[in-house]
Amino acid sequence: MHTISLSRLSPLLAGTAMLALALAPSAHAAKFPPLNDPASTDRVPGKLVWADLFTTDPDSATKFYTGLLGWTAMPVEQKGKGYIIFSNGGRPVAGLSPRSVKGGTHPARWIGYYSVADIDATVAAVTKDGGMVHAAAHKFPDRGVQAIVADADGNPIGLLQSSTGDPADTEPKPGDWNWFELYAKSPKVTSDFYHNAIGLDVTPETNSDRKSDFVLKSSGQARGGVAPLPDGNDVKPSWLGVIRVADLDATLAKVPGLGGEVLVAPHSVEFGSRFAIILDSTGGTVGLVQYMDNANPANSQ
pTM of the model: 0.85
Domains 6-13+169-299 and 16-162 agree in fold: yes
Residue 9 has pLDDT above 90, yes or no: no
pLDDT digits (tens, 9 = 90+) for 217-236: 999 999 999 999 887 656 78
C-alpha pair distances (Å), 40 with each of 34, 91, 165 = 11, 15, 5
Domain residue limits, the chain = 6-13+169-299, 16-162
C-alpha pair distances (Å), 271 with each of 149, 191, 250 = 33, 24, 21
Lowest mean pLDDT among 30-44, 120-134, 243-257: 30-44
3.40.50.150, 3.10.180.10, 2.60.40.1510, 3.40.50.880: which CATH number matches 16-162? 3.10.180.10
Neighbour count for residue 256 (Cβ, 10 Å): 13
Helix (H, G, I), strand (E, B) or coil at 281: coil
Q: Are 40 and 164 in contact (CB under 8 A)?
A: yes
Q: How far is CA 159 from the centre of its chain?
A: 12
Homologous superfamily assigned to 6-13+169-299: 2,3-Dihydroxybiphenyl 1,2-Dioxygenase, domain 1 (3.10.180.10)
Model confidence at 211, pLDDT cuts 50, 70, 90, reads low
